[in-house]
Structure 1
Amino acid sequence: MSKGFGLIVRFTLKGEAAATAFDALCVRTLQGIDALEPGTLAYVSHVPEGEPLVRVFYELYADRAAFEAHEAQPHTRAFLAEREQYLDDVRVTFLQAVAGTAADRL
């Protein structure tokens, strides 16, 4: 399987108020992603059990070019700039798809 490019991003937030503001920022950003990014196949924010100040994003793109197009969008650039005030830490893991039935159907 050569198609599919993804990443997992783990955000650690500064506190409860930061988490609330970060979540609202994510909702605003998703509106642009849904409307303008056909190459973005999945963009999901998760709260790990027992870690209320952590958000884990799973992002899946049709290919690396779709990811780069996502990064260039005004709503993404605004997200990247605004998010910093809410964060204590960010960890990014890039993923290259090798197999998977769900990814094959997308």
Structure 2
Amino acid sequence: MFALVVRFDLHDPDAATAFDALVAEVLPQITALEPGTLVYATHTVADEPLARVFYEVYTDRDAHRAHEAAPHTARFLATKDRYVSSARVDFLDSPAGKGVAFSG
């Protein structure tokens, strides 16, 4: 399993609206076309209207590479920067806890 969390901070309310529309376009394609993407959850942040957090879980690093190479993701990555003032990516270690299974 391979997982990461991404935080995007957006320029302004108009950028947030456009970013959310871009995400809404790509999510159905991720769901339909990426069997190695186990979780792709996008969140708004309470009391921070210009912040978005993505939680992503893949079967393995190859599945993440396939996600990054997919045309819909490439378009998202090429477009998002016009709306984003900063981004932070955290790659996660092996999970532990309720609702997670890890096989090594």
Cα distance in structure 2, aligned partners of 1:86 and 1:45: 16
Instruction: Confirm or deny that 1:86 pairs with 2:83.
Output: yes
The one-letter code matched in structure 2 to 1:16 is P
- The structure that is strand-richer by fraction is 2
One of 82, 96, 100 as aligned partner of 1:99: 96
- The structure that is helix-richer by fraction is 1
With the length of structure 2 as denominator, give the TM-score of the two structures.
0.92
The one-letter code matched in structure 1 to 2:93 is Q
Give the match for residue 48 of structure 2.
51
The one-letter code matched in structure 2 to 1:56 is V
**Aligned-pair identity (%):** 53
Give the match for residue 9 of structure 1.
6
Unaligned runs of 5+ in 1: none
RMSD of equivalent CA atoms: 1.3
Q: How does 1:13-32 map to 2 (within 5 A)?
A: 13-32=10-29
* Residues 95 and 101, structure 2, Cα contact 8 Å, conserved in 1: no
Unaligned runs of 5+ in 2: none
One of 43, 50, 64 as aligned partner of 1:67: 64
Give the match for residue 31 of structure 2.
34
Hey, which bits of structure 1, 4+ residues long, moved more than 6 A? none
Question: Number of residue pairs matched?
Answer: 102
**Shift in Å, 1:102:** 1.9
Instruction: Confirm or deny that 1:76 pairs with 2:73.
Output: yes
